[in-house]
Structure 1
Amino acid sequence: MALGYRAIVRLDDSDDAIIAAESQLVAWLREKKKKGTLETADWDGEGEFRLGSNARLTVVHDTERPDGSCRRLYRLMESNNRGTFTVSLYALSVPRAKSFPNTLVVDVELDVETVDQAIRTVAPPRLMRRILDSHRAFDGRMPLTGEPQVVRKIDVDTVQSAILDQARTASVIVAPLPWPDDEEKWRALIRELTSYSVGVASTFILDEAATAILQQSLPQSHQIEKAVIRTFAPKVDIESPEDSLRHPKLYPKTLIRYIRRGKVRNELVGLHAHASRLRFIERDLPGDVRRGLDILARVHAEAQRNWDLERQIVDAQSVIQTQEPRQDPAVATPMTRLSVLINRWLGDDWAISDSSLTKLDELLERRTFEAALRHDELNKAAEVREKLENNIRELRAQVENLSLDLAVAEEERRKYEREVVVLRQRLVASGRVELVYVEREDSVWDPPDDILNLLERITPGSEHIVFSRVEFTGDEDKALEVDVYEPTPRYAHAFWDFIHVLYDYAEGRAQGAHFRGCPPLSDERRDRWP
C-alpha cells in the first residue's frame, strides 16, 4: 500500500473533532450506501464492521488520557475494479493544547508500489470536501475551503496573510482573473484545475482590483500576474529573491494546451497538485499531529492483535468441540472438564495429579511470559519504526533544501555563463581575440572528489598552496556529514570553487591589488596580511 493523499484540517475552537468526524463519516457512508457501493452504513462503538462484500470499517478508540485528550481512528478499506483503497480519518481532540485543540487528518492509501502512482490515481475523497463544506477549517491562520474563493479588494489582506503565514503547511494557489467579465467561467476552470488539491491548498481567485493591491505588497521576485496561476509553498521568504524558485507559475499558454472541450485534462490536474500533495506525504508533520497519529497507530496495532487472537481462540474452540465427543451437561463435572483441559495442553499421557497440574501451571506461565515478551518486542519495533519514519522525513526535507540550493546555484551559473558569452563576443567584435584565450589551470587546483579530501587541504598539516591563505576553522564532523548525504563530488567541487575564489582574493590583497569596495593595503598592513 502506498499513501497517495493526506490532508490536515484544524477545526475552529468551538468544534469538537470527535463529533465532527463521526457526523461527517456517517453522512459519507450513507451517501456511499445510497450509490450502491456499500450494503450498510451502520456501526456501533469500537471494532471491525463489514459494510459490504468488499468493504470493511475499523474503528479504534484511544482511552481518554489524564489531560482530557481523546483520539479516534476510523478506517474504511474498500475494493473495486481500480484496486483496494484505504481511507483513514483521524480525530484528535486535545482540549488543553495551546493551539489547535481539534484536528482532523484524512489519509488515502492504494495498493500500488510507489507514492507517485498513488498520487496520480487517488483523488481527494468526498469525505474531505464534506468536512471543509460543513466546518470552519484552517491551516495555520489560513482558511481552508473545498472551493476556490473569489477575493475582492476589501478582502485582499486574507490572501496576503495566507501567503506569509509561517505556520501553514498547505499551499496557497493565487489565480488572478484574466479578464474583468465572465468570472464564473474562470472560476469553473480553476475549480477543475485544483480539484486534486482540495485539503492540501487554499485557492484564491483575485479580481482586477485585488490583483493590483496584492502586486503592490509583493516584491518583484514573488509577483503575481494577470491570468498566471502561482502556487506558493509554505515558509515564504519574500526577502530572498532565490526563494521565488520554490513557488512555480502556470502560464496561460500551458493551461490552454491542456483544455479539451472546456475541461482541464486530468494530466495537468494531477501534475499541478503533485508537489503540494507530496509535501504532506513525505515531509515531517506538525508535532502534535505526529504524536496523535503515532498513538493511534500503537492503539490500532494492539487492538488488531487482540481481535486476531479472539478470532483464533473462537476458531480453536470450534475445532475442539467438533473433535471431542459431546458430553451431557448434567453428567459433566469439574473433574472431567479438568481432565479434558490437561489432555488438551499436555497430551493424553497425563492424568489428573499434582505433577500434571504443576506441569500445566508451568506451561501456562511460560506461554503468558512469552506473550508478554512478544508484546514488548512489538511495541519496541513500533517505536523504532516511528523513529525511522521521522528520520526519513527529516532527510527528505534536507534533500528538498539541497535541491533548492542547487536550483539557485544553477540559476547563478546560467547568468554567469551568459555574461561570459556576451563579454567574449564583445572582445572578438572589438578585435581583441587574444584576450578570449584562457590558459589551462594548474593541476594543483584540480577539485577534490569529497569533503574529506577538501578538508585535508585547508586544515593544519596541509602542504597544499591554498592553506597559505585559507584555513578551515569550523566543525569538521558537521562538514563531513555532506559526504553522507551526497555521494557525488558535486558539493565538494562547488566548495572548492569558493575556496579558490577566497585564495585569489587573499593573494591579490597581499600583493596590493585593489578590489572594488576595498582600499589598497598599506605596507604595514600588507606585512601583517596572513
Structure 2
Amino acid sequence: MLGFRSVFTTHRERNHLQPLVREQLDRWIAGPKGWDPSALQENRWATIGDNVRALLLQHEGQDGSTSTRVRIVETKPDGQWIIQLTVHAPNARERAAWAWIDIESPDPDSEDPRSRPRLAGTPRFFAPILEIIDAWDGAARLTTRPIVIRGDEVDEVHRALIDTERRGVVFVAGNDDSLPSVPWTNRIANLTRFTIGMSSCYVLDGEATQLLNARLGQAHAVLPGRLRTYRYQVQPDSVVDGLRHRVLSAERIADDNEQPRLARVLASNAQLQALEQPLPASVARVHRMLERIADDMLVHRLGDVSPKRPSLVPSQPQAAAVETRESERRQADASAQQGMLLDYLKIKVGIDDLTVDRIDELVRLIEVGRSSQEAQNDIASRLAQLQAELDETQKAYHDVKWQLDDEQIENRDAVERLTRSAETERTLRHRLASMGQAEVAWTAQPSESDVARPDSFGELLRWLPRLQHVVFTGDPDCAVELDSKDPLGAWASKTWDALLVLQDYAAAKADGRWDRDVHGFLENTPDGCHDWPTRRHARDESEEVRTNPAFRRKRLLPVPASVVQVGRIFMGAHFKIVKSAMISPRMHYYDDTARSGRIYVGYIGRHLPTGQTN
C-alpha cells in the first residue's frame, strides 16, 4: 500500500535536477543500504542487492523532454517495499522540472479490515535533495527547516495558503515577538521534523502574524504561540472553511511531554493529505507513458532468446592452451573424475557425442532459461504490484462509499436533534413570555464555557482534568490517532459531550438526585443535565464478545488498584461516538460511582474488534 508520496517542482535547477537527484539516490543505495548502484542498467531490471531488484528507465520524448525512473523492489519477510523515483525535465524553458517519490509498504494485516495504514517515513536521500534544490509545492517552498518570515515577506505565505495548485499542508506558527525567535523556531522544527518533503512550514514574526491575520480574517487567523495546519484550497472568505484548518494550542506546544505525540500527529496529517491528493495531470501523463514502456519491456524479455554472454567457443590459441592445461591435470590423476562428469552430463542431456558446438548450444539455452526465469519473476512482481494497487483502489472506493452512507445517517440524526432542540427552545421561550418573562426568554444565552468544545482529541485529553468525577485511564495514543481521521474535530466534540453526560450522571448520584445506572440516566435525563441518545449507548457487550477470549482481552482496560487489585477490569459499557466505516470511535468506561463516586474511562479510540469487524 502507498505509504509516502512527495511531488515537487523546480525552475532554478530544471536543467540539473536529474543528475542531482540521481547522485543522492546512488549515495543512499551504496551507503546506508549497502547495495550496488553500478548494477543499474538502462531500461533493464537488475539485481542490486540481496533480494533487491531495480529498474532504471530512461526516455527522451519527441518534444525534447527527458524522463528518468528508478524503481527499487526489496523483498523482506513482511512483504515487498517499493521505492519509485521519477524525474522529468520538459524541453520548454518556461516549464518547471519536477520530481516524484513514492514508497509502497506491505499491508501489516491484509486480512483485518480494521488494520491501520502503514505510513512510511521520509526516505533518507530526500532531505539532502531539498538542501541543494530550490523545491516547491505550488507556491509553497519545501525545505528541511521552518522558513522564518518577516513582516515584508508575508506575501509569500499568503500566496502559498490560497494557491489552488498546492498539494501538501502548510504549517504556520504565529508570534507576537514575546517568544524568542530561535528557540520558538527550533521547537516548531522539532514538531514538524517527520513531515519533510510533504509539507511547508513558516514561522512568522510579530508583524508578519498581524499582517497575515488581517488578510485571512478571524476564521483563518493564526494566533501568537500557536501552530495552524492549513489544508489545501484555503478559502479566506468562508467562515465554515476555517474549521478545516486545525490549530495546535500554545499549552500543548509548550508541554515537553507532548512533543513526541504531536510530532506523530502532524506527520500523520501531512502524510494522509499527500496520499489522498490526485497526481497533477502532467505527472500522471508521464507516469502512464513510463508504465507502458516498463510493461512492454517485461513482455518482450520473455521472447528474447539471444545469448546474454559472449560465446564460450574458445579461439584456436585458447583451445590449445586449454588442451595443454587439461593434459597436465590428467597427468595429475584428474582424468577419472573428468570422465565421470562427462558421462553424467551425457546421461542428463541425452547426447552421446559432446562437441564444442553442442556445449555452446547448451550454454546458450541455459542463459535463455535464466533470463526467462528472471523475466517471469519480475513480471510476477509487477502483477503483484498491480493487484495490490487494484485492491487498494477497491478498498478505498468501498470505504468512501461506506463512510458517505454513515455521514448521511449522522447528518440526518444531527438535523433531527437540532430541529427538536429548536422546537424545545421555541416552546420554552413562549412559555416564559406568557409568564411575563419575555426579556429573560429572548436574552438568555449560554456561557462560553458551556458551549466550548475541544477541536481535537489531543485537546480533549488536556480538558479531562476539568471533570471532577471522570478519570481517564486509557492509552492517549489510541485517542490522538483519531485526529488524523477527523479533520474537523467533530468526533472529539461528540466525545466531550459523552464525557459531560458521565460527569452529570456521577454528580447527580453524588448529591442524591439519581440512583439508577447510566442507561437509565439517558432514558430519563434529569433537568439541567447533558443528554445523549440511548441508541448510541450500550450497557454491555454482546455475549459473543464477552465469551470470546480475544475480544474480551481487548476490553480488559486499566483502572487503579484501589478498584481491582490486578489493575484491569472488563469494560463492556460504552458510548458509540459516531458511525464511520471500520473506525467508528468508541468510548469504554467502568461505573464505580457506587463505591468511589467516579467513572473510569479506559478507552477512547477506534472500534475494538468483534466478530463483524474481524
* TM-score, normalised with respect to structure 1: 0.59
SS in 2 for 1:126: coil
Same amino acid, percent of matched pairs: 21
CA distance, structure 2, for counterparts of residue 172 and residue 116 of structure 1: 29
2:323 aligns with: none
1:272 aligns with: 266
CA distance, structure 1, for counterparts of residue 413 and residue 145 of structure 2: 37
SS in 2 for 1:138: strand
1:108 equivalent in alignment to 2:103: yes
2:147 aligns with: 149
Q: Summarize the Cα distance change of 1:332–1:230 in structure 2 as closer, same or farther, 3 Å threshold.
A: closer
Q: Summarize the Cα distance change of 1:179–1:31 in structure 2 as closer, same or farther, 3 Å threshold.
A: farther
| Residue 310 of structure 1, CA deviation | 5.8
Contact 1:242 1:408 in 2 (8 A): no
Q: Summarize the Cα distance change of 1:169–1:331 in structure 2 as closer, same or farther, 3 Å threshold.
A: closer
CA distance, structure 2, for counterparts of residue 392 and residue 289 of structure 1: 24
1:88 aligns with: 84
| Residue 395 of structure 1, CA deviation | 10
CA distance, structure 1, for counterparts of residue 199 and residue 409 of structure 2: 26
CA distance, structure 2, for counterparts of residue 99 and residue 81 of structure 1: 43
CA distance, structure 1, for counterparts of residue 303 and residue 414 of structure 2: 60
Contact 1:60 1:74 in 2 (8 A): yes
Contact 2:78 2:106 in 1 (8 A): no
Could you give the per-residue CA deviations for residues 34-84 of structure 1, whole angstroms, max 9, x where no partner exists?
Answer: xxx3143433432333333243332222x3221122222112233568764
Contact 1:84 1:111 in 2 (8 A): yes
| Residue 230 of structure 1, CA deviation | 1.3
1:19 aligns with: 19
Q: Summarize the Cα distance change of 1:156–1:111 in structure 2 as closer, same or farther, 3 Å threshold.
A: same
Q: Summarize the Cα distance change of 1:193–1:331 in structure 2 as closer, same or farther, 3 Å threshold.
A: closer
CA distance, structure 1, for counterparts of residue 114 and residue 145 of structure 2: 25
Contact 1:175 1:227 in 2 (8 A): yes
1:323 aligns with: 349
Contact 1:175 1:206 in 2 (8 A): yes
2:162 aligns with: 164
Contact 1:38 1:55 in 2 (8 A): no
Q: Summarize the Cα distance change of 1:13–1:122 in structure 2 as closer, same or farther, 3 Å threshold.
A: same
| Residue 288 of structure 1, CA deviation | 0.6
CA distance, structure 2, for counterparts of residue 143 and residue 411 of structure 1: 40
1:284 equivalent in alignment to 2:310: no
CA distance, structure 2, for counterparts of residue 230 and residue 406 of structure 1: 31
Match of 2:52 among 51, 55, 62: 55
1:434-453 mapped onto 2 (5 Å cutoff): none
CA distance, structure 1, for counterparts of residue 98 and residue 295 of structure 2: 22
| Residue 254 of structure 1, CA deviation | 4.2
Q: Summarize the Cα distance change of 1:153–1:179 in structure 2 as closer, same or farther, 3 Å threshold.
A: closer
2:504 aligns with: none
| Residue 241 of structure 1, CA deviation | 1.8
The one-letter amino acid of 2:262's match is L
Contact 1:86 1:109 in 2 (8 A): yes
CA distance, structure 1, for counterparts of residue 223 and residue 414 of structure 2: 22
CA distance, structure 2, for counterparts of residue 116 and residue 229 of structure 1: 31
1:5 aligns with: 4
1:28 equivalent in alignment to 2:54: no
1:426 aligns with: 429
Contact 1:164 1:235 in 2 (8 A): yes
Could you give the per-residue CA deviations for residues 275-308 of structure 1, whole angstroms, max 9, x where no partner exists?
Answer: 4322332332110111112222222223334456
| Residue 93 of structure 1, CA deviation | 2.2
1:95-494 mapped onto 2 (5 Å cutoff): 95-96=91-92, 99-100=95-96, 102-112=97-107, 113=109, 120-177=118-175, 180-255=178-253, 259-260=256-257, 264-265=259-260, 267-307=261-301, 323-325=349-351, 327-329=353-355, 422-431=425-434
The one-letter amino acid of 2:50's match is S
Could you give the per-residue CA deviations for residues 436-483 of structure 1, whole angstroms, max 9, x where no partner exists?
Answer: 9xxxxxxxxxxxxxxxxxxxxxxxxxxxxxxxxxxxxxxxxxxxxxxx
The one-letter amino acid of 2:57's match is V
| Residue 204 of structure 1, CA deviation | 0.7
CA distance, structure 2, for counterparts of residue 182 and residue 311 of structure 1: 70
The one-letter amino acid of 1:107's match is D
Could you give the per-residue CA deviations for residues 306-352 of structure 1, whole angstroms, max 9, x where no partner exists?
Answer: 456669998xxxxx99524275546879xxx9xxx9xxxxxxxxxxx
| Residue 392 of structure 1, CA deviation | 9.5
| Residue 185 of structure 1, CA deviation | 2.9
CA distance, structure 1, for counterparts of residue 259 and residue 31 of structure 2: 27
Structure holding more helix per residue? 1
Contact 2:40 2:55 in 1 (8 A): no
Q: Summarize the Cα distance change of 1:178–1:78 in structure 2 as closer, same or farther, 3 Å threshold.
A: farther
CA distance, structure 1, for counterparts of residue 39 and residue 408 of structure 2: 51
Q: Summarize the Cα distance change of 1:53–1:134 in structure 2 as closer, same or farther, 3 Å threshold.
A: same
Q: Summarize the Cα distance change of 1:9–1:15 in structure 2 as closer, same or farther, 3 Å threshold.
A: same
1:501-516 mapped onto 2 (5 Å cutoff): none
CA distance, structure 2, for counterparts of residue 405 and residue 176 of structure 1: 37
1:72 equivalent in alignment to 2:75: no
| Residue 242 of structure 1, CA deviation | 1.8
SS in 2 for 1:42: helix
Please list every run of 5 or more consecutive structure 2 residues that lacks an aligned counterpart in the other structure.
Answer: 309-344, 366-378, 442-580, 582-614
The one-letter amino acid of 2:22's match is E
CA distance, structure 2, for counterparts of residue 310 and residue 144 of structure 1: 45
Aligned-residue CA RMSD in angstroms? Answer: 5.0
| Residue 106 of structure 1, CA deviation | 0.5
* TM-score, normalised with respect to structure 2: 0.52
Contact 2:12 2:134 in 1 (8 A): no
